[in-house]
Chain A
Amino acid sequence: MVLKAYRYKNDRKPRYWAIAAMTISIFVTPFSVMAAGDDDYLSALKQEAKKVDSKGGSSTASAATGDAGNAVSREVFEAELKDKYAGSAVFYGKLPASSQEEIFLEYQGGATISELRKKIMDRFLHR
């Protein structure tokens, strides 16, 4: 009777473990496979990125296109304004140096040309 109970106990134990192990594996496996997939993709990307260096492809176009990366000088800004918006350039020319500086700084900061033209008129009309 004791032996039977012992056997029964031992027979049951592995089943609990098996169920527990299966349950864990069901939840864990997809995540680990996903993580492994992501890792593979990231390492493939890393390897591929090295090829850009060795062949120097991406810099070719930027070198060929000339003045990329140069900050626009005030002269260039004023020349562009004169070229495209001669009217605004006339009023800009009549502004005091401090207002001109302010408008140029706004241009460098990324203000749109319509904003700048409005600002020029505002400053000119003391609004």
Chain B
Amino acid sequence: MRISKVIMAASVAMCVFAGQVLGAEEEVVVGAQGAVIPLYKDKPYLHVIHKGRSVKVQRVQDTDFELHGYFAKTSRQCPPFCLGPMEVHPQVKTVGEIEIFHFMENQLRDGTGLLIDARTPEWHAKGTIPGSVNVPFTTLSKAIDDLEMIEALESFGAKPREPVGAVTKTLEEWGVMKAENMTDSWDFTNCKELVLWCNGPACGQSPRAITGLLEVGYPPEKIHYYRGGMQVWQLYGLTTIN
């Protein structure tokens, strides 16, 4: 009985190993020799869930394709649409496209992260990055006791705290009780990792949303800023969805 179990486990392991080797050989050829323009080296495309449907994210496969329209514009009226700095806050990480792809395949699929289109709904309706949810900066700039902000924070996995007594507060201040990622009114211990984006480097909507979140105590290490936004996403011919 024991021997048969060992044989079965060994055959299962061999099959899985063989599968991985086979899988590696059978993957789509990308790069200079192949026809596929990948997302990045050895990554032809990925799938992300958008409103309950799986969407394939890839680059435009036509090397002669040129971007036209609004996001091909070089300049906009400044103010208000002025170029913003690379960093919104010293502790908030600014990310690029490859980090977004990894985020889509890991935190989004695992439910531990949210990709947030921080633009107003009229912008979101005209096209967005697949996998994004629309939480406008106008909501995330509200006061901590505003119903819209409360609903947003709850959807991000933050939990409202029971009124904190003087004793608890003192113990937390002394470090006797764990108070990391907690404010007087919110517990951010299990809150989701967020990537916020808007129209691009000259867009102030996601920086405002990030500032709003920091003001209510959202942990900065759980916030990421995709500065490239819709403009850079489209410049690289990446899939958008209406």
A86 near B22 with CB under 8 A, answer yes
- Find chain B residues with CB under 8 A from A42 CB: 120, 138
Binds B, one of A1-9, A10-18, A20-28, A44-52: A44-52
CB-contacts of A82-127 with B (<8 A) = 83-91, 107-112, 121, 125
A110 near B234 with CB under 8 A, answer no
B123 near A64 with CB under 8 A, answer no
Q: How large is the interface on B (under 10, 10 to 19, 20 to 34, 35 or more residues)?
A: 35 or more
Q: Does B108 contact A (CB under 8 A)?
A: yes
A49 near B77 with CB under 8 A, answer no
B16, B81, B230: most-surrounded residue (chain A CB, <10 A): B16
Given contacts A58-B127, A85-B20, contact A64 B68 (CB under 8 A): no
- Find chain B residues with CB under 8 A from A70 CB: 53, 55-56
Shortest A111–chain B CB gap in Å is 7
CB-contacts of B187-242 with A (<8 A) = 204-205, 230, 234, 237-242
- Find chain A residues with CB under 8 A from B109 CB: 110-112
A68 near B55 with CB under 8 A, answer yes
- Find chain B residues with CB under 8 A from A29 CB: none
A44 near B77 with CB under 8 A, answer yes
Q: Mark B47-80, 1 if CB is under 8 A from A, else 0.
A: 1011011111111111001011111100011001
Shortest A53–chain B CB gap in Å is 7
CA distance A118 to B177 in the complex (A): 38
Q: Does B171 contact A (CB under 8 A)?
A: no
Q: Does B40 contact A (CB under 8 A)?
A: no
- Find chain A residues with CB under 8 A from B23 CB: 83-87
| Residues in A lying within 8 Å of B, measured CB to CB | 40-42, 44-46, 48-49, 51-53, 55-62, 64-72, 83-91, 107-112, 121, 125
In-complex Cβ contact of B239 among A65, A83, A86 (8 A): A65
B19 near A62 with CB under 8 A, answer no
- Find chain A residues with CB under 8 A from B28 CB: 83
A48 near B76 with CB under 8 A, answer yes
B54 near A72 with CB under 8 A, answer yes
A58 near B69 with CB under 8 A, answer yes
Q: Mark B75-107, 1 if CB is under 8 A from A, else 0.
A: 011001100000000000000000000000110
10 extra interchain contacts, Cβ-Cβ under 8 A, other than A42-B120, A65-B59? A45-B120, A46-B120, A57-B71, A62-B242, A65-B238, A69-B50, A84-B23, A84-B27, A86-B23, A109-B49
B67 near A87 with CB under 8 A, answer no
Can you list 13 pairs linking A and B with CB atoms under 8 Å apart?
A41-B80, A41-B204, A49-B126, A55-B68, A55-B70, A57-B70, A58-B126, A58-B127, A60-B67, A85-B20, A86-B23, A90-B19, A110-B108
